Structure formats: structure tokens, C-alpha cells
Amino acid sequence: MNTRRALLDALADGPVSGPALAADLDVSRAAVWKAVEALREEGFAVESTADGYVAPADPAYCAAGIEFELDAPYVVEYHDSLPSTNDRARELAAEGAEDVVVVADEQTGGRGRLDREWVAPSGGVWLSLLTRPTVPPARAPLFTLAAAVATVDACREAGVEAHIKWPNDVLVGGDEGSDDGGDADGRGGRKLAGILTEMEGEADRVSWLVVGIGINANIDRRTLPADATSLRAETGADVDRRRIAATLLERFATLAETADRSDRILAAWRDRASTLGRRVRVETPSGPVVGTAVDVESPGALVIDTDDGTQRVYAGDCEHLRDAGD
Ligand code: BT5
């Protein structure tokens, strides 16, 4: 284990003295000092006290801050600004890396699906998780569902009642009541977060998978598209991005471990979805499908009861229609 990571782990248990850590790790005291200085330079403000080094009470949103006390097997790479965290993660994939999370405070060329633009100014949680799961490529959509579940949980922990619109939009309002007018245009609510999954696969297994997640955290609504919202706009106060990123990664890691079966991810997804039971219109590559969304099936297909029988859709943009009598 490297000194930086060992130092972060030790700090999580309370004060640690330089000499004790050096002895534990069998490295020089100078090496420990260098690791402390490197953390400070990253923005993780380690304090020196009479009892030894102490972690900051309120760690900053930086690589060490997110890794600190993180219960998930990922290394964090933090950037103040990147064109797109997905692009950086793909670069790392090409270099052979895995279990890395690329985080940026701001993206200048953020991407949505189908090369749409993703607006990503400073203050959001923009991150991409690079993993190499040992599953066949056909199962990859399960990871998008898992990411949507993790995103909803992180937003709810921050105090915002988010829900999922199939396949991967995380929205607020719209479906649970008509009092806020959020569903007026059928979009199903105000968009709070989005997910962009990219992968490379061989015939029988995924080679790499990049799950990009964007959550509008501390973002002024006026800088977002008209139908979008942010955690800050919903709660009226700044949210803790470090906590949000950590919850996201921990929830995702737990769910991803179960991707060889699909029941757990699907159950968690159904629990948080606003699409099931609704009249929907999905624009698919082969034309629109209109009917009532009745279920989601592995690895992420939406099951729709239509006038012409049951249909399954695997990709597309989904619109929630007003129910007759609404
Ligand atoms: C998505 O696409 O919702 C996927 C967004 C993924 C963004 C993350 S951020 C980290 C990682 N790095 C990247 O470069 N991307 C990922 P889609 O369903 O196609 O929605 C895109 C549409 O959402 C746009 O056409 C706009 O209408 C709208 N939009 C753009 N920026 C938005 C924002 N910040 N919040 C809400 N809606 C937005």
C-alpha cells in the first residue's frame, strides 16, 4: 500500500504520529512528512498537533477529501477543470487503469447521450468511474441502473426527494403531485442529474466500463437549461459535495458487486423509479412506442403495454404522458 493511502487510513482512526506511521509502514519519517505535505497541497488540510497528525474536521472537495473514510475500492483523480471526466476516464482505460474515479470541479466540454451538451460549471458533482467488471457486455446497462440508484440515494441524503425516469434521468417533482407544475411539459420533473455510460467490450466480457455521473449540486439554476434544477436550488443551501460523491461511490460499489445477478439492482431501481405505472412515449431508433410502462427487466429494458401488445424497449428518450383524466 502506498504511503499516501496508508496515511489517509491512519488519519481516519484519529491522531497518528509521524514516527509511529513510519515504523508501521517501514518507511522513513521523511517519506511520511512528504506524504503529509502532498495531502496538504491537494487541499486536504492535515493538522499537526501534540498527539500527531489530525485529519481536517471538514475535508475539502479534493481527491484525498473524497478518498478519506471512503468505503469503496476506488482511487480518486481530481481536476479543477477538464473538458469531460468521461474523456479523461477513457484515456485512463486505454492506459490500462481500473477502479479510478475522475472528478472535476468544472467541465468545459461535458457530454450527454448522443453527443448532446452537458452544462457543467464549477460547483457540480461531475465524475466518471472507470471499472472492469467481469460480466458480459450485454449486462453493462445494469451498471447504468445501479448508477441511477446511487445518484438518487446521494441526492436524498442531501435532502432532495429525487426519483428516476427511465432509463437514466434523475428528476425532482413532476410525478408525485401536480402542485408544483413540474410535469407540465411531460418531462416528468426537473432534471437534477444525468448519467452517461460508455464501454468497450469483447465478445464475452466487458473490457472497460466508464460510468459518468453529473449532479447539479451547488449550481445557480439560471446557468442551467430551463427545465433543470440543482440540489442548492431545491434545498436553499449549499450541499456537501464530498459527502455526495462518497455516498454515490459507496452505493454504486455495493450494487455493482451484485451485477452478476440482476435482481437486487432491479429491485432498488423499481423502488426509486417514477416511470413504472405511467403512460409513456419512448422515442426509439425504430420509432415511437406509446403505452403504459409496467416493469423494467434485466439488463435495463422497459416493458410497455401498448395497444398492440407488450413491447420491450432498450434505448431511447422517454416522455411521461399525462394519464387520461389528469
Ligand atoms: C445525460 O444525457 O443526462 C447524461 C449526462 C452525463 C453528464 C456526466 S458529468 C460527468 C461525465 N462527464 C461527461 O462529459 N458527461 C458525464 P442526456 O439524457 O442526453 O441529457 C442531455 C440533455 O440534458 C441536454 O440536451 C440538455 O437538454 C439537458 N442538460 C444539459 N446540461 C444539463 C444539466 N447540467 N442539468 C440538467 N439538464 C441538462
Q: Across the chain, how many H-helices and E-strands are there?
A: 9, 14
Lowest mean pLDDT among 145-149, 248-252, 318-322: 318-322
- What is the average pLDDT value for the chain, to the nearest integer? 93
Specify the pLDDT at position 183. 47
Q: 191: Cβ below 6 Å to ligand 1?
A: yes
Give CA–CA dist 57/242, Å, rounded.
Answer: 13
Same domain as 238, residue 144: yes
Domain with 299 in it: what CATH number?
A: 2.30.30.100
Give CA–CA dist 294/324, Å, rounded.
Answer: 16
Residue nearest to atom 25 of ligand 1 (CA): 116
Q: Kindly tell me if the per-residue pLDDT of 57 is higher than 90.
A: yes
Q: Kindly tell me if the per-residue pLDDT of 1 is higher than 70.
A: no
Domain ranges, residue 81: 63-272
Q: 75: Cβ below 6 Å to ligand 1?
A: no
Specify the pLDDT at position 186. 57
Which tens digits make up the pLDDT trace of 79-137? Answer: 999 999 999 999 999 999 999 999 999 999 999 998 899 999 999 999 999 999 999 99
Q: Kindly tell me if the per-residue pLDDT of 178 is higher than 50.
A: no
β-pairing, 287-297 vs 52-54, is unpaired
Same domain as 68, residue 159: yes
Q: Kindly tell me if the per-residue pLDDT of 233 is higher than 90.
A: yes
Same domain as 75, residue 46: no
Same domain as 90, residue 215: yes
Q: Kindly tell me if the per-residue pLDDT of 177 is higher than 50.
A: no
Candidates 222, 253, 41; CA nearest to 123 is 222
Ligand 1 atom nearest residue 86's Cα: 12
Domain with 38 in it: what CATH number?
A: 1.10.10.10
118, 169, 171, 241: which to mutate for ligand 1, most atoms within 8 A of CB?
118
pTM, two decimals, is 0.94
Same domain as 288, residue 203: no
Same domain as 255, residue 308: no
The verdict on residue 166 lying in a domain is: yes
Percentage of residues in the chain having pLDDT higher than 90: 88
Specify the pLDDT at position 2. 85
Same domain as 288, residue 259: no
Q: Kindly tell me if the per-residue pLDDT of 172 is higher than 50.
A: yes
Instruction: Give distance in angstroms: CA of 39 to centre of ligand 1.
Output: 32
Question: Confidence band (pLDDT; 50, 70, 90) for 30?
Answer: very high
Specify the pLDDT at position 260. 81
Q: Kindly tell me if the per-residue pLDDT of 182 is higher than 50.
A: no
The verdict on residue 7 lying in a domain is: yes
List the grid coordinates of 176: 408525485
Same domain as 97, residue 43: no
Specify the pLDDT at position 174. 83
The verdict on residue 326 lying in a domain is: no
Candidates 245, 128, 121; CA nearest to 195 is 128
Q: 215: Cβ below 6 Å to ligand 1?
A: no
- What SS3 class is residue 18? helix
Q: Kindly tell me if the per-residue pLDDT of 175 is higher than 70.
A: no
Q: 228: Cβ below 6 Å to ligand 1?
A: yes
Specify the pLDDT at position 261. 83
The verdict on residue 39 lying in a domain is: yes
Specify the pLDDT at position 323. 67
Specify the pLDDT at position 88. 98
Question: Confidence band (pLDDT; 50, 70, 90) for 250?
Answer: very high
Provide the number of structural domains found in the chain. Answer: 3
How far, in whole angstroms, is CA 300 from its chain's centroid?
A: 17
33-34-38-39 Cα dihedral, nearest 10 degrees = -30
Specify the pLDDT at position 128. 98
Which tens digits make up the pLDDT trace of 280-305? Answer: 999 998 899 999 999 999 999 999 99
